[in-house]
Amino acid sequence: MLRLVQPMPWALSILLTVGLTGCASEANPVTEVTDADVVGSWRAGDAPADFELVVLADGTYHAEQWPLNLACGVPQAKSAADVSWDDTVSLEGRWVLHEGSGASMTIFFPSEVCSGYSPSASLFIEGDGRLTLNFYLEVPDFVDSTTTVVFYRDSR
């Protein structure tokens, strides 16, 4: 079950300000999420066809063609345009969900490949009802989406 964050009245003016200053898409943070909500195949918006993040119901994942500079190698990409889809690695490991004011999913990278780093992706629901995983490359900036890599569940 997915549950959206319900904005408080004082937060309405903040949301309107963000909306009027150029937010790329209408998306709401998710507070409650189940494992079944995230299980499936995910793709990043600008990724080549051979990229795939597969989240399995048993708490594991595998990723084909994961960019090394997307939370894995050094130096890290600072913007979505900097993500190198040509320098990639295949990964597998486990994942876990976190609920709260904004739900997230942590992907545990294998230490022998990515120095044990474990990135978290925030979960959002877009205006059309699609769940997204949002990987922040820098401190989250909800007005500027250039520092966020968004993953969508594959509908093929």
Beta bridge partners of 126: 27
Over residues 54-105, the pLDDT tens digits come to 999 999 999 999 999 998 877 888 888 899 999 999 999 999 999 877 899 9
Share of the chain above pLDDT 90, in %: 42
Q: Which residues have a Cβ under 8 Å from the Cβ of 141 and sit 6 or more positions away?
A: 147
**pLDDT value of residue 24:** 46
Name which of 29, 19, 107 is nearest 62 in CA terms. 107
The model's confidence at residue 139, banded by pLDDT at 50, 70 and 90, is: low
Residues 5-26, mean pLDDT to the nearest whole number: 35
Beta bridge partners of 63: 53, 91
**pLDDT value of residue 21:** 28
Q: How far are the Cα atoms of 35, 38, 73, 92, 113 from residue 58, in angstroms, in the given order? A: 9, 12, 27, 13, 22
Residues, the chain: 156
**pLDDT value of residue 117:** 77
For residue 18, pLDDT over 70 is answered with: no
Environment class of 8 (CB within 10 Å of its CB; exposed 0-12, middle 13-18, buried 19+): exposed
Over residues 34-60, the pLDDT tens digits come to 999 999 999 998 788 889 999 999 999
**pLDDT value of residue 8:** 34
**pLDDT value of residue 64:** 92
Q: How far apart, in whole angstroms, are the C-alpha atoms of residue 153 and residue 2?
A: 15
| C-alpha atoms less than 13 angstroms from C-alpha of 152 in its C-beta half-sphere | 12
